[in-house]
Amino acid sequence: MSIKKQFLKSKPVCKVNFKLSKADVNSASKVCLIGDFNNWNENADEFNKLKDGSFSYSLELETGREFRFRYLADGKVWFNDSEADRYESSGHGDAQNGVLSL
């Protein structure tokens, strides 16, 4: 798992690149990035599957904010990124959301 942040000088946004290995997703065929930036829409931000079985996705998010997120593999398995800036309760049982601080 990796999260890379690139803060743009020309506008108040950060380009965030997410990468998940085949092992990270347990050989899933589809992975989506879900969070408060897309109203927790389970189909809004689908990763690109690469030839080696890994997944990548990039998006621009406003700086000076925090964003909560999780991943959803094959529409049924929720998981967090080990490189999130921190974690907090999701309000659903003992599940936690990853948090990006930009």
Residues 45-92 have pLDDT tens digits of 999 999 999 999 999 999 999 999 999 999 999 999 999 999 999 888
Which of 42, 47, 36, 55 has its CA nearest to residue 98? Answer: 36
Residues 6-19 have pLDDT tens digits of 999 999 999 999 99
Domain containing 64 — which CATH number?
2.60.40.10
**Number of domains into which the chain is organized:** 1
Q: Is the pLDDT of residue 102 over 90?
A: yes
Q: Tell me which H or E stretch contains 40.
A: none
Integer CA distances (angstroms), 18 to 52, 61, 86, 92, in order? 16, 13, 16, 24
**Can you give the pTM of this predicted structure?**
0.93
Query: Structure tokens of 36?
Result: 């408060």
Give the torsion through C-alpha atoms of 76, 78, 81, 84, to 10 deg: 140
Supply the range of the domain harboring residue 51. 2-101
Query: Structure tokens of 8?
Result: 């743009």
pLDDT at 47: 97
